[in-house]
Amino acid sequence: MTDMQLLIASQDQSLLDASLRAAKRMKCEVRSAATASAAIDLITGGEVDIVLADIQLPGLRVPELVEAARRCSPESSTIVLAGAENAALAQQAVRQGAHDCLIGPFDVAELENLLERLANERRMSQENRMLRQQLEARQGLGALIGASAKMQRIYEIVLKVANKRHPVLVLGESGTGKELVARAIHSYGPWRDLPFVPVDCGALSPTLIESELFGHVRGAFTGANQNRQGLLAAAGKGTVFLDEIAEMPVELQSKLLRAIQEREVRPVGSNQRTPLEARIIAGTNQHLEGAITRGTFRKDLFFRLNVVSIKLPPLRERKNDIPLLVHHFIDRYSGAGGIKHISDEAMSRLMNYDWPGNVRELENCIQRSLALGSPPEIQVKDLPSSVLYSIESDGGRQRFSTLRERERDAIRQALEMTGGDRLQAAKLLGIGKTTVYRKIKEYELDHIVNSMRT
Ligand SMILES: Nc1ncnc2c1ncn2[C@@H]1O[C@H](COP(=O)(O)OP(=O)(O)O)[C@@H](O)[C@H]1O
Ligand SMILES: [Mg+2]
Inter-helix orientation angle 149-162/178-187, to 10°: 40
| Ligand 2 geometric centre to CA of 26 (Å) | 43
Contact 435, 407 (CB under 8 A): no
What's the whole-number mean pLDDT along residues 13-29? 88
**Dist. CA 318–CA 362, nearest whole Å:** 13
Mean pLDDT for the stretch of residues 71-99? 90
Q: Note the pLDDT of residue 396.
A: 46
What class does CATH assign to 316-398? mainly alpha
Q: Which ligand is nearest to the CA of 315?
A: 1
Indicate the pLDDT class of residue 447, thresholds 50, 70 and 90: confident
Please name the amino acid found at residue 325.
L
Question: By alpha-carbon position, which residue is closest to atom 8 of ligand 1?
Answer: 177
Query: Can you tell me the distance from the alpha carbon of 190 to that of 199, in angstroms, rounded to the nearest whole number?
Result: 22
Please choose, from the candidates 82, 166, 364, the residue with its C-alpha nearest in 3D space to the C-alpha of residue 91: 82
Ligand 1 pocket residue status of 180, Cβ below 6 Å:
yes
* Whole-number pLDDT of residue 344: 92
Band (453; pLDDT cuts 50, 70, 90): low
Nearest alpha carbon, ligand 1 atom 16: 177
Query: What pLDDT, on a 0 to 100 scale, did the predictor assign at position 399?
Result: 58
- Ligand closest to Cα of 199 equals 2
pLDDT at 414 > cutoff 70:
yes
Per-residue confidence at 125, pLDDT binned at 50, 70, 90? confident
d(CA 277, CA 190): 15
Decide: 366 in ligand 1 pocket, CB within 6 A. no
Backbone φ and ψ of 252, nearest 5°: -70, -30
> d(Cα 260, Cα 242) in Å, to the nearest integer?
13
Q: How far apart are the C-alpha atoms of 324 and 68, rounded to whole Å?
A: 43
Q: 80 pairs with which residues across the strands?
A: 53, 101
**Cα distance between residue 329 and residue 350, in whole Å:** 13
Task: Looking at the structure, give the CATH architecture of the domain made up of residues 137-311.
Answer: 3-Layer(aba) Sandwich (3.40)
Question: Which residue, 379, 371, 385, 447, is CA-closest to 416?
Answer: 447
* Cβ proximity of 52 and 64 under 8 Å: no
CB 393 within 8 A of CB 354: yes
Query: What are the residues facing 310 on neighbouring strands?
Result: 170
pLDDT in tens, 317-337: 999 999 999 999 999 999 888
Q: What's the rounded mean pLDDT across residues 353-359?
A: 92
The tens digit of pLDDT for each residue in 88-99 reads 999 999 999 999
Q: Are 251 and 268 a contacting pair, CB within 8 Å?
A: no
CA of 96 to the centre of ligand 2 (A): 46
Mean local confidence (pLDDT), 375-398: 75
What's the chain look like in SS3? CCCCEEEEECCCHHHHHHHHHHHHHCCCEEEEECCHHHHHHHHHHCCCCEEEEECCCCCCCHHHHHHHHHHHCCCCEEEEEECHHHHHHHHHHHHCCCCEEEECCCCHHHHHHHHHHHHHHHHHHHHHHHHHHHHHCCCEECCEECCCHHHHHHHHHHHHHHCCCCCEEEECCCCCCHHHHHHHHHHCCCCCCCCEEEEECCCCCHHHHHHHHHEECCCCCCCCCCCEECHHHHCCCCEEEEECHHHCCHHHHHHHHHHHHHCEECCECCCCCEECCCEEEEEECCCHHHHHHHCCCCHHHHHHHCCEEEECCCHHHCHHHHHHHHHHHHHHHCCCCCCCEECHHHHHHHHHCCCCCHHHHHHHHHHHHHHHCCCCEECHHHCCHHHHCCCCEECCEECCCCHHHHHHHHHHHHHHHCCCCHHHHHHHHCCCHHHHHHHHHHCCCHHHHHHHHC
pLDDT higher than threshold 70 for residue 392: no
Q: Which of 171, 180, 324 to mutate to test the pocket of ligand 1 (most atoms within 8 A of CB)?
A: 180
Query: Does the structure show a pLDDT above 60 at 23?
Result: yes
Vertex 29 angle, CA 24 and 32, to 5°: 95
C-alpha dihedral over 185, 191, 192, 195, to 10 degrees?
-100
* Rounded (10°) CA dihedral 438, 440, 442, 448: -160
Mean pLDDT of the chain: 89
pLDDT at 180: 98
For ligand 1, whether the C-beta of 314 sits within 6 Å is no
Q: Is the pLDDT of residue 384 over 90?
A: no
Question: Ligand 1 test: best mutation among 242, 355, 358, 359, most atoms within 8 Å of CB?
Answer: 359
> Which residue, 132, 130, 135, is CA-closest to 158?
130
Asked whether 391 and 406 are in contact (CB, 8 A), the reply is yes
User: Does residue 42 or residue 419 have the better pLDDT?
Assistant: 42
Spatial separation of the C-alpha atoms in residues 380 and 347, rounded to whole Å: 8
Strand partners, 199: 242
Measured by CA distance, the residue closest to atom 9 of ligand 1 is: 177
30, 6 in Cβ contact below 8 A?
yes
Q: Is the pLDDT reported for residue 199 higher than 60?
A: yes
Average pLDDT of the segment spanning 5-9: 93
C-beta 174 within 6 A of ligand 1: yes
Q: Give the distance (Å) from ligand 1 centre to CA of residue 381.
A: 25
Which amino acid, one-letter code, is at 243? D
Pick the CATH number of 5-128 from 3.30.310.50, 3.10.20.30, 3.40.50.2300, 3.40.50.2000: 3.40.50.2300
Beta-carbon neighbours within 5 Å of ion ligand 2 = 179, 243
From CA 272, how far away is CA 311, in angstroms rounded? 37
pLDDT score of 265 = 95
Q: Give residue 395's pLDDT.
A: 47
**Quick one: what percent of the chain has pLDDT higher than 90?**
63
Label residue 39 by pLDDT band (50, 70, 90): very high
